Amino acid sequence: MNLFHRSPRQETISVQVTSGSAQRSLSPLENMVADDPKMYSALENFLIVDPERQLPLLDDVSMLLAKGDTAKADGNNQRARVNYEVAAKIEIYKQNRESAKNFLDLAETVTDQAAEHYAFQKTMLADMDKVLSISKAYQALTSH
């Protein structure tokens, strides 16, 4: 089960985009970052869609940090990255700028630079204020 992708009950804002004869509705996130495809891709993977359901299923950030550090020490960079990124997702949701940045920095140290997640980390680290602003607006739009 992937906890961080679109929920089937996610609302769609009706914004028509016309390109020739094609029309489609944008999701709330697409509408917020239509001008920044890199940020859209990163946040599509990092925003918590249903926090009331998802957060209780996750470890707290101190436990995720410990798990990430253990995995890193064991040479399991992928497991370390996942733990650091989940902690960053929680901190982004909670609007904890410095903590989110620190977890993304940690994730970056164990992520292959050719990996898609490395690009996500770089994009978000380049503008954490924008990340937090979009996260806050997204949660306001999608909370029920």
pLDDT tens-digit map of 86-131: 999 999 999 999 999 999 999 999 999 999 999 999 999 999 999 9
- Reported as a pLDDT band with limits 50, 70 and 90, residue 47 is very high
* CA–CA distance, 103 with 88 (Å, rounded to integer): 5
Helix (H, G, I), strand (E, B) or coil at 18: strand
* 67 in a structural domain: yes
In a domain, 15, yes or no: no
Domain of 90 in residue numbering reads as 31-142
96 part of a folded domain: yes
How many domains, in total, are found in the chain?
Answer: 1
The token pair that represents 68 in the structure block: 């990430």
pLDDT digits (tens, 9 = 90+) for 111-122: 999 999 999 999
- CA nearest to 84, candidates 108, 96, 68: 68
- Any domain includes 19: no
- Does a structural domain hold residue 97? yes
Question: pLDDT for 13-28, tens place per residue?
Answer: 444 444 444 556 668 8
Identify the three-state secondary structure at position 107.
helix
- Whether residue 65 is predicted with pLDDT greater than 90 in this model: the reply is yes
- Residue 79 included in any domain: yes
Residue 72 inside a domain? The answer is yes
* In a domain? residue 86: yes
Q: Burial letters for 93-109: b for 16+ Cβ neighbours within 10 Å, e otherwise?
A: bbebeebbbbbbebbbe
pTM above 0.75, yes or no: yes
